[in-house]
Amino acid sequence: MSIAENIKNIKNIIEDDINLIAVSKTKPFKDIEEAYNAGIRNFGENKVQELSSKMEICKHKDIRWHLIGHLQRNKVKYIVGKVYLIHSLDSVRLLNEIEKQYKSNGEIANVLIQINIGRDGNKTGLLIEDLDELISLCEKCDNVKVKGLMAIIPIGDEKQCRKYFKEMKTLFDKLKRNTFKNIEMKYLSMGMTGDYKIAIEEGSNMVRIGEGVFGKRNYNINKEED
C-alpha cells in the first residue's frame, strides 16, 4: 500500500484526539512530502543530524518536528528553536543542558520526560525512583516546560505490553492530579507500529508510527551516529 493509504487506514482506527507522529527516520524527504499531502503535520526523527538536514529542505512552515530519539547533550544546541517537542528528557544533566542552551537563545523547550518503565538496560529513559528529583529541578527552570511523559516499552506479548502501558498511565494520572510549576501532563506518548492499538486502549494520546506509515526502513542509507 502507498503511504497515503497507510495513513488513511491508521486514521480510520484512531480517534481524532490521538496525536499521530509519523516517524520518518531513514526515509527520504519525498516520503515526508507524500505523508504531508495525506494530511500529516507531525513528524518524528531520532537523530539530530537527520532532523536538521530534512528541516533545511522543508518548505512547509506548518510541520511540527518531534525529536523522539536519545538526545546527547552536545547536540542540544543544534535543535534550539527548531523542534515542537523533545520526547526524550531522561536525565538531570540533559535537563541542565537544554535549559542552558534554550535560555541563551531566548527560546522555550517543550519536553516529555522519558521513563524506562521496563527497567531495560538496553533502553534509555529515567527510572521511576529518579523522577521526583528531575521534576523538582524542572520546576526551577525558566526555559524548559514539561508537557507529559514518553515510554518505549520492552518487546513482549500483549499481556506484557498492557502491563507496562498501564503502569505508565497510572504514573501519568498520578502526576496529573498534582500541581507543579512548568509541568503539565498533556501528552502520554507511548505506542509504535506494532502496539499502538494496545497503547491507545490503555490511555496513550500520542503514538509514534514509522513502518506503519512509511513501510520498512533502510538503515543502510543513514549510518552516521548522532
Separation of alpha carbons 199 and 223, rounded Å? 30
Q: For the chain, what are the domain ranges?
A: 3-216
First to last CA, the chain: 31
38 and 8 Cβ atoms separated by less than 8 Å: yes
The 10s digit of each residue's pLDDT in 178-187 is 999 999 999 9
Phi, psi for 207 (deg, rounded to 5): -120, 145
Q: What's the topology of domain 3-216?
A: TIM Barrel (3.20.20)
Which residue shows C-alpha cell 531520532?
Answer: 46
pLDDT digits (tens, 9 = 90+) for 82-96: 999 999 999 999 999
pTM of the model: 0.93
Average predicted confidence (pLDDT) for the chain: 94
pLDDT for 110 equals: 98
